[in-house]
Structure 1
Amino acid sequence: MRLRFTLLSLLTLAPAVWAHPHSFIDMQATLIQQQNALTGIEMRWTMDEITSADLLYDAGDAKAGSEIWKKLAAEVMANVLAQHYFTEFYHGGQPVKFKNLPPSYRLLREGRKAVLEFVLPLATPQPLKGQTFHFSTFDPSYFVDMHYESALRIALPAGMEACNITLDTPAPDASLQAYALSLDKADAPPEEMDLGQQFAQRVTLTCQ
Protein backbone atom coordinates (compact mmCIF):
# COMPACT_ATOMS: atom_id res chain seq x y z
CA MET A 1 0.00 0.00 0.00
CA ARG A 2 1.34 3.41 -0.93
CA LEU A 3 2.01 5.99 1.76
CA ARG A 4 -0.88 8.20 2.70
CA PHE A 5 -1.27 11.92 2.31
CA THR A 6 -0.58 13.90 5.46
CA LEU A 7 -0.47 17.61 5.90
CA LEU A 8 2.95 17.52 7.54
CA SER A 9 4.84 15.03 5.35
CA LEU A 10 3.49 15.73 1.91
CA LEU A 11 3.09 13.02 -0.65
CA THR A 12 3.51 15.03 -3.80
CA LEU A 13 5.11 14.28 -7.08
CA ALA A 14 6.65 17.73 -7.23
CA PRO A 15 10.39 18.25 -7.73
CA ALA A 16 12.35 18.66 -4.50
CA VAL A 17 13.46 22.12 -5.55
CA TRP A 18 10.00 23.55 -5.12
CA ALA A 19 9.91 26.20 -2.41
CA HIS A 20 7.42 26.49 0.45
CA PRO A 21 4.57 25.88 0.31
CA HIS A 22 4.60 22.53 -1.47
CA SER A 23 0.88 21.94 -1.47
CA PHE A 24 -2.31 23.98 -1.59
CA ILE A 25 -5.72 23.50 -0.01
CA ASP A 26 -8.63 25.69 -1.07
CA MET A 27 -10.99 25.99 1.89
CA GLN A 28 -14.68 26.64 2.28
CA ALA A 29 -16.55 26.80 5.58
CA THR A 30 -20.14 27.01 6.77
CA LEU A 31 -20.80 27.97 10.37
CA ILE A 32 -23.25 25.80 12.31
CA GLN A 33 -25.62 27.23 14.89
CA GLN A 34 -28.28 25.70 17.08
CA GLN A 35 -30.53 27.63 19.46
CA ASN A 36 -28.63 30.89 18.95
CA ALA A 37 -25.28 29.31 19.73
CA LEU A 38 -22.35 28.40 17.51
CA THR A 39 -21.75 24.64 17.67
CA GLY A 40 -19.22 23.98 14.93
CA ILE A 41 -17.90 24.62 11.44
CA GLU A 42 -18.61 22.53 8.37
CA MET A 43 -15.31 22.40 6.48
CA ARG A 44 -14.64 21.61 2.83
CA TRP A 45 -10.98 21.31 1.82
CA THR A 46 -10.11 20.89 -1.86
CA MET A 47 -6.54 19.66 -2.42
CA ASP A 48 -4.49 20.59 -5.46
CA GLU A 49 -4.02 17.97 -8.17
CA ILE A 50 -0.48 16.96 -7.20
CA THR A 51 -1.37 16.54 -3.54
CA SER A 52 -4.46 14.55 -4.56
CA ALA A 53 -2.54 12.14 -6.79
CA ASP A 54 -1.79 9.41 -4.23
CA LEU A 55 -5.29 9.39 -2.80
CA LEU A 56 -6.93 9.17 -6.19
CA TYR A 57 -4.46 6.48 -7.28
CA ASP A 58 -5.40 4.30 -4.32
CA ALA A 59 -9.11 4.94 -4.78
CA GLY A 60 -8.88 3.85 -8.40
CA ASP A 61 -12.31 3.50 -9.96
CA ALA A 62 -14.07 2.87 -6.66
CA LYS A 63 -17.45 4.53 -6.36
CA ALA A 64 -18.11 7.31 -3.89
CA GLY A 65 -19.11 5.92 -0.51
CA SER A 66 -17.39 2.59 -1.11
CA GLU A 67 -15.23 0.92 1.55
CA ILE A 68 -11.97 2.09 -0.06
CA TRP A 69 -13.13 5.72 0.08
CA LYS A 70 -14.23 5.28 3.69
CA LYS A 71 -10.84 3.81 4.60
CA LEU A 72 -8.95 6.63 2.86
CA ALA A 73 -11.18 9.20 4.55
CA ALA A 74 -10.49 7.70 7.97
CA GLU A 75 -6.73 7.81 7.41
CA VAL A 76 -6.73 11.42 6.22
CA MET A 77 -9.09 12.46 9.02
CA ALA A 78 -6.82 10.82 11.60
CA ASN A 79 -3.97 13.04 10.38
CA VAL A 80 -6.18 16.13 10.68
CA LEU A 81 -7.29 15.18 14.20
CA ALA A 82 -3.69 14.62 15.27
CA GLN A 83 -3.11 18.31 14.55
CA HIS A 84 -6.22 19.62 16.34
CA TYR A 85 -8.00 20.11 13.02
CA PHE A 86 -5.18 22.50 12.01
CA THR A 87 -7.44 25.18 13.47
CA GLU A 88 -7.25 27.69 16.31
CA PHE A 89 -10.51 29.22 17.55
CA TYR A 90 -10.77 32.09 20.04
CA HIS A 91 -13.55 33.81 21.96
CA GLY A 92 -12.69 36.80 24.11
CA GLY A 93 -9.02 36.12 23.58
CA GLN A 94 -9.34 32.64 25.07
CA PRO A 95 -8.96 29.42 23.07
CA VAL A 96 -12.08 27.39 22.46
CA LYS A 97 -11.69 23.61 22.58
CA PHE A 98 -13.00 21.17 20.01
CA LYS A 99 -14.49 17.73 20.48
CA ASN A 100 -12.03 14.92 19.85
CA LEU A 101 -13.99 13.39 16.97
CA PRO A 102 -16.02 14.93 14.15
CA PRO A 103 -19.69 13.87 13.94
CA SER A 104 -19.28 13.34 10.20
CA TYR A 105 -16.61 13.34 7.51
CA ARG A 106 -16.05 12.02 4.00
CA LEU A 107 -13.51 12.06 1.20
CA LEU A 108 -14.54 12.39 -2.43
CA ARG A 109 -13.23 13.01 -5.90
CA GLU A 110 -13.93 16.08 -8.00
CA GLY A 111 -12.20 15.66 -11.32
CA ARG A 112 -8.50 15.32 -10.56
CA LYS A 113 -8.80 16.69 -7.05
CA ALA A 114 -9.54 15.08 -3.69
CA VAL A 115 -11.96 16.86 -1.37
CA LEU A 116 -12.22 16.34 2.38
CA GLU A 117 -15.48 17.37 4.03
CA PHE A 118 -16.01 17.24 7.77
CA VAL A 119 -17.69 18.95 10.69
CA LEU A 120 -15.38 20.58 13.22
CA PRO A 121 -17.41 20.43 16.47
CA LEU A 122 -16.91 22.89 19.31
CA ALA A 123 -16.66 21.19 22.70
CA THR A 124 -19.13 23.69 24.17
CA PRO A 125 -21.79 25.69 22.26
CA GLN A 126 -20.85 29.38 22.11
CA PRO A 127 -23.72 31.91 22.52
CA LEU A 128 -23.69 34.28 19.56
CA LYS A 129 -25.52 37.44 20.66
CA GLY A 130 -23.15 40.36 21.11
CA GLN A 131 -20.07 38.20 20.73
CA THR A 132 -16.95 38.20 18.54
CA PHE A 133 -14.96 35.12 17.55
CA HIS A 134 -11.72 34.58 15.64
CA PHE A 135 -10.41 31.46 13.98
CA SER A 136 -7.55 30.47 11.69
CA THR A 137 -6.72 27.25 9.88
CA PHE A 138 -3.10 26.64 8.91
CA ASP A 139 -0.22 24.18 8.78
CA PRO A 140 2.36 25.45 11.31
CA SER A 141 5.27 24.33 9.09
CA TYR A 142 3.79 26.11 6.04
CA PHE A 143 4.40 23.03 3.92
CA VAL A 144 0.73 23.47 3.03
CA ASP A 145 -0.89 26.75 2.03
CA MET A 146 -4.43 26.56 3.44
CA HIS A 147 -6.52 29.49 2.28
CA TYR A 148 -9.95 30.93 1.53
CA GLU A 149 -10.21 32.54 -1.88
CA SER A 150 -12.37 35.27 -0.35
CA ALA A 151 -14.72 35.93 2.57
CA LEU A 152 -17.52 34.60 0.36
CA ARG A 153 -16.10 31.11 0.99
CA ILE A 154 -17.25 31.37 4.61
CA ALA A 155 -21.01 31.02 4.77
CA LEU A 156 -23.51 31.97 7.45
CA PRO A 157 -26.61 29.76 7.69
CA ALA A 158 -30.17 30.91 8.21
CA GLY A 159 -30.57 32.16 11.75
CA MET A 160 -27.27 34.04 11.79
CA GLU A 161 -28.46 37.17 9.97
CA ALA A 162 -27.27 39.33 12.89
CA CYS A 163 -23.70 38.17 12.33
CA ASN A 164 -21.09 39.10 9.74
CA ILE A 165 -17.78 37.69 8.57
CA THR A 166 -14.51 39.43 7.78
CA LEU A 167 -11.41 37.75 6.38
CA ASP A 168 -7.96 39.19 7.00
CA THR A 169 -5.09 37.93 4.84
CA PRO A 170 -1.63 38.77 6.22
CA ALA A 171 1.05 40.46 4.17
CA PRO A 172 4.36 39.14 5.58
CA ASP A 173 7.35 41.36 4.97
CA ALA A 174 9.70 40.71 2.08
CA SER A 175 12.35 39.02 4.23
CA LEU A 176 9.91 36.45 5.61
CA GLN A 177 8.55 35.71 2.14
CA ALA A 178 12.09 35.29 0.83
CA TYR A 179 12.89 32.91 3.70
CA ALA A 180 9.84 30.77 2.93
CA LEU A 181 10.76 30.67 -0.74
CA SER A 182 14.31 29.62 0.13
CA LEU A 183 13.15 26.42 1.84
CA ASP A 184 13.17 23.34 -0.34
CA LYS A 185 11.11 20.22 0.21
CA ALA A 186 13.65 18.68 2.60
CA ASP A 187 13.78 21.76 4.84
CA ALA A 188 11.61 22.41 7.87
CA PRO A 189 11.49 25.82 9.56
CA PRO A 190 12.25 25.91 13.31
CA GLU A 191 9.17 24.87 15.27
CA GLU A 192 9.29 27.97 17.45
CA MET A 193 9.11 30.13 14.33
CA ASP A 194 5.55 28.90 13.62
CA LEU A 195 6.00 29.94 10.01
CA GLY A 196 2.53 28.89 8.90
CA GLN A 197 0.81 31.09 11.46
CA GLN A 198 2.54 34.13 10.02
CA PHE A 199 0.89 33.43 6.66
CA ALA A 200 -2.46 32.30 8.12
CA GLN A 201 -5.68 34.08 7.28
CA ARG A 202 -7.84 35.22 10.19
CA VAL A 203 -11.62 34.90 10.13
CA THR A 204 -13.61 37.21 12.42
CA LEU A 205 -17.23 36.45 13.25
CA THR A 206 -19.08 39.38 14.81
CA CYS A 207 -22.66 39.08 16.02
CA GLN A 208 -25.01 41.84 17.15
Structure 2
Amino acid sequence: MKPAAFRKSFDGKTVLDCPALELAEGRITAVIGANGSGKSTLARVLAGIEPPDGGGSPLPGCRAGYLPQSCYAFRMGTLQNLLLNGGDASRAHSLMNALHLDALAGQPARALSGGERAKMALARLLMAKYALLLLDEPCAAMDMESTLAAEQLISDYRRETGCAVLLITHSISQAERIADDLMFLNDGRVVETGNAQRVLTAPGTEELRRFLAFFGR
Protein backbone atom coordinates (compact mmCIF):
# COMPACT_ATOMS: atom_id res chain seq x y z
CA MET A 1 0.00 0.00 0.00
CA LYS A 2 1.65 3.22 -1.19
CA PRO A 3 -0.06 6.50 -0.25
CA ALA A 4 0.93 9.32 -2.59
CA ALA A 5 2.89 12.31 -1.35
CA PHE A 6 0.79 15.21 -0.10
CA ARG A 7 0.81 18.44 1.85
CA LYS A 8 -1.72 19.74 4.33
CA SER A 9 -2.00 23.39 5.28
CA PHE A 10 -4.21 25.34 7.66
CA ASP A 11 -4.59 29.11 7.28
CA GLY A 12 -1.74 29.18 4.79
CA LYS A 13 0.70 27.32 7.05
CA THR A 14 1.92 23.86 6.05
CA VAL A 15 1.42 21.53 9.02
CA LEU A 16 2.40 18.32 7.23
CA ASP A 17 4.62 17.71 4.22
CA CYS A 18 4.37 13.97 3.69
CA PRO A 19 6.41 12.09 1.09
CA ALA A 20 5.12 8.99 -0.67
CA LEU A 21 4.88 6.24 1.94
CA GLU A 22 4.87 2.47 1.92
CA LEU A 23 2.56 0.82 4.45
CA ALA A 24 3.18 -2.89 4.23
CA GLU A 25 0.19 -5.20 4.33
CA GLY A 26 0.11 -7.37 7.43
CA ARG A 27 2.44 -5.05 9.35
CA ILE A 28 1.96 -2.46 12.07
CA THR A 29 3.64 0.91 11.65
CA ALA A 30 3.89 2.99 14.82
CA VAL A 31 3.98 6.76 14.37
CA ILE A 32 5.78 8.73 17.07
CA GLY A 33 6.63 12.40 17.50
CA ALA A 34 6.00 15.38 19.72
CA ASN A 35 2.64 17.12 20.04
CA GLY A 36 1.96 19.18 16.94
CA SER A 37 4.32 17.18 14.73
CA GLY A 38 1.53 16.19 12.33
CA LYS A 39 0.66 12.67 13.50
CA SER A 40 -3.11 13.15 13.80
CA THR A 41 -3.18 15.16 10.58
CA LEU A 42 -1.50 12.26 8.80
CA ALA A 43 -4.19 9.86 9.99
CA ARG A 44 -7.04 12.23 9.16
CA VAL A 45 -5.82 12.83 5.61
CA LEU A 46 -5.25 9.12 4.95
CA ALA A 47 -8.72 8.41 6.34
CA GLY A 48 -10.30 10.98 4.03
CA ILE A 49 -11.49 13.15 6.93
CA GLU A 50 -9.26 16.05 5.87
CA PRO A 51 -8.50 16.67 2.19
CA PRO A 52 -4.87 17.33 1.30
CA ASP A 53 -3.89 20.57 -0.35
CA GLY A 54 -5.19 20.41 -3.91
CA GLY A 55 -7.92 17.91 -3.04
CA GLY A 56 -8.12 14.27 -3.98
CA SER A 57 -6.87 11.45 -1.80
CA PRO A 58 -3.43 9.90 -1.21
CA LEU A 59 -5.19 6.50 -1.13
CA PRO A 60 -8.07 6.54 -3.63
CA GLY A 61 -10.38 3.55 -3.31
CA CYS A 62 -8.79 2.25 -0.12
CA ARG A 63 -11.20 0.95 2.55
CA ALA A 64 -9.72 2.48 5.70
CA GLY A 65 -10.98 2.23 9.26
CA TYR A 66 -10.24 5.27 11.40
CA LEU A 67 -10.27 5.55 15.19
CA PRO A 68 -9.84 9.17 16.39
CA GLN A 69 -8.61 10.20 19.81
CA SER A 70 -12.11 11.30 20.83
CA CYS A 71 -14.34 8.23 20.80
CA TYR A 72 -17.98 8.72 19.90
CA ALA A 73 -20.70 6.63 21.52
CA PHE A 74 -24.16 6.39 20.00
CA ARG A 75 -27.32 6.60 22.12
CA MET A 76 -27.78 2.88 22.61
CA GLY A 77 -26.27 -0.02 24.49
CA THR A 78 -22.64 -1.05 24.27
CA LEU A 79 -23.40 -4.20 22.27
CA GLN A 80 -25.63 -2.27 19.86
CA ASN A 81 -22.80 0.21 19.28
CA LEU A 82 -20.58 -2.63 18.10
CA LEU A 83 -23.25 -4.14 15.85
CA LEU A 84 -23.66 -0.82 14.03
CA ASN A 85 -20.39 -1.56 12.23
CA GLY A 86 -21.53 -4.90 10.86
CA GLY A 87 -20.59 -8.40 11.89
CA ASP A 88 -22.56 -10.71 14.14
CA ALA A 89 -23.24 -10.85 17.85
CA SER A 90 -20.76 -13.67 18.45
CA ARG A 91 -17.93 -11.53 17.08
CA ALA A 92 -19.08 -8.60 19.20
CA HIS A 93 -19.20 -10.70 22.36
CA SER A 94 -15.74 -12.12 21.63
CA LEU A 95 -14.27 -8.62 21.30
CA MET A 96 -16.05 -7.37 24.41
CA ASN A 97 -14.88 -10.38 26.40
CA ALA A 98 -11.27 -9.80 25.34
CA LEU A 99 -11.52 -6.19 26.52
CA HIS A 100 -13.45 -7.02 29.71
CA LEU A 101 -16.58 -5.25 28.46
CA ASP A 102 -18.89 -8.26 28.43
CA ALA A 103 -20.58 -7.28 31.71
CA LEU A 104 -21.41 -3.89 30.17
CA ALA A 105 -23.06 -5.19 26.99
CA GLY A 106 -26.50 -3.83 27.91
CA GLN A 107 -25.30 -0.64 29.56
CA PRO A 108 -25.85 2.66 27.71
CA ALA A 109 -22.60 3.37 25.88
CA ARG A 110 -22.68 7.03 26.86
CA ALA A 111 -22.58 5.99 30.53
CA LEU A 112 -19.21 4.26 30.08
CA SER A 113 -16.05 5.68 31.62
CA GLY A 114 -13.38 7.15 29.36
CA GLY A 115 -11.35 3.95 29.32
CA GLU A 116 -14.42 1.79 28.76
CA ARG A 117 -15.55 4.01 25.91
CA ALA A 118 -12.10 3.76 24.30
CA LYS A 119 -12.31 -0.03 24.46
CA MET A 120 -15.85 0.01 23.05
CA ALA A 121 -14.77 2.22 20.14
CA LEU A 122 -11.83 -0.04 19.29
CA ALA A 123 -14.02 -3.14 19.44
CA ARG A 124 -16.62 -1.43 17.22
CA LEU A 125 -13.96 -0.64 14.62
CA LEU A 126 -12.67 -4.21 14.64
CA MET A 127 -16.14 -5.56 13.80
CA ALA A 128 -15.56 -4.73 10.12
CA LYS A 129 -12.82 -5.64 7.67
CA TYR A 130 -10.52 -2.94 6.33
CA ALA A 131 -7.45 -2.78 4.11
CA LEU A 132 -5.95 -0.13 6.41
CA LEU A 133 -6.47 0.65 10.09
CA LEU A 134 -5.68 4.18 11.27
CA LEU A 135 -5.53 4.27 15.06
CA ASP A 136 -4.90 7.60 16.80
CA GLU A 137 -3.79 6.92 20.39
CA PRO A 138 -6.26 4.05 20.80
CA CYS A 139 -5.01 3.08 24.27
CA ALA A 140 -4.41 6.53 25.78
CA ALA A 141 -7.35 6.25 28.20
CA MET A 142 -6.81 2.57 29.07
CA ASP A 143 -5.04 1.01 32.04
CA MET A 144 -2.11 -1.32 31.41
CA GLU A 145 -4.15 -4.53 31.49
CA SER A 146 -6.60 -3.15 28.94
CA THR A 147 -3.78 -1.74 26.82
CA LEU A 148 -2.13 -5.14 26.52
CA ALA A 149 -5.48 -6.74 25.65
CA ALA A 150 -6.12 -4.07 23.01
CA GLU A 151 -2.65 -4.54 21.53
CA GLN A 152 -3.29 -8.27 21.23
CA LEU A 153 -6.59 -7.66 19.44
CA ILE A 154 -4.95 -5.23 17.02
CA SER A 155 -2.14 -7.69 16.32
CA ASP A 156 -4.60 -10.56 15.85
CA TYR A 157 -6.77 -8.46 13.51
CA ARG A 158 -3.72 -7.55 11.43
CA ARG A 159 -2.74 -11.21 11.15
CA GLU A 160 -6.26 -12.44 10.35
CA THR A 161 -7.10 -9.79 7.74
CA GLY A 162 -3.66 -9.00 6.31
CA CYS A 163 -4.40 -5.29 6.62
CA ALA A 164 -1.85 -2.54 7.15
CA VAL A 165 -2.03 -0.74 10.49
CA LEU A 166 -0.90 2.82 11.24
CA LEU A 167 -0.77 3.27 15.01
CA ILE A 168 -0.14 6.71 16.49
CA THR A 169 1.28 6.50 19.98
CA HIS A 170 3.09 8.56 22.60
CA SER A 171 4.33 5.36 24.24
CA ILE A 172 7.75 4.20 23.10
CA SER A 173 7.18 1.00 25.07
CA GLN A 174 4.00 0.36 23.09
CA ALA A 175 5.86 0.88 19.83
CA GLU A 176 8.48 -1.63 20.96
CA ARG A 177 5.85 -4.19 21.92
CA ILE A 178 3.57 -4.08 18.90
CA ALA A 179 5.16 -2.33 15.92
CA ASP A 180 6.94 -3.95 13.00
CA ASP A 181 7.93 -0.60 11.51
CA LEU A 182 8.26 2.91 12.88
CA MET A 183 7.78 6.43 11.53
CA PHE A 184 9.09 9.51 13.32
CA LEU A 185 7.53 12.91 12.59
CA ASN A 186 8.97 16.25 13.59
CA ASP A 187 7.62 19.70 12.72
CA GLY A 188 5.36 18.33 10.01
CA ARG A 189 8.02 16.21 8.32
CA VAL A 190 8.65 12.47 8.15
CA VAL A 191 12.18 12.41 9.51
CA GLU A 192 12.90 8.71 9.85
CA THR A 193 11.26 5.39 8.94
CA GLY A 194 12.32 1.77 9.11
CA ASN A 195 12.22 -1.40 11.15
CA ALA A 196 10.93 -0.45 14.59
CA GLN A 197 13.60 -2.20 16.66
CA ARG A 198 16.42 -0.90 14.48
CA VAL A 199 15.16 2.68 14.46
CA LEU A 200 14.59 2.72 18.22
CA THR A 201 17.93 1.16 19.13
CA ALA A 202 20.05 2.93 16.51
CA PRO A 203 18.30 6.16 15.42
CA GLY A 204 19.81 7.65 12.31
CA THR A 205 19.04 11.32 12.95
CA GLU A 206 19.89 13.74 15.73
CA GLU A 207 16.22 14.78 15.88
CA LEU A 208 15.11 11.27 16.80
CA ARG A 209 17.98 10.81 19.24
CA ARG A 210 16.92 13.97 21.07
CA PHE A 211 13.28 12.88 21.08
CA LEU A 212 14.10 9.44 22.50
CA ALA A 213 16.32 11.01 25.16
CA PHE A 214 13.19 12.50 26.76
CA PHE A 215 12.09 8.90 27.42
CA GLY A 216 15.46 7.91 28.84
CA ARG A 217 16.47 6.05 25.69
TM-score, normalised to structure 1, is: 0.25
* Bigger proportion of residues as strand: 1
TM-score, normalised to structure 2, is: 0.24
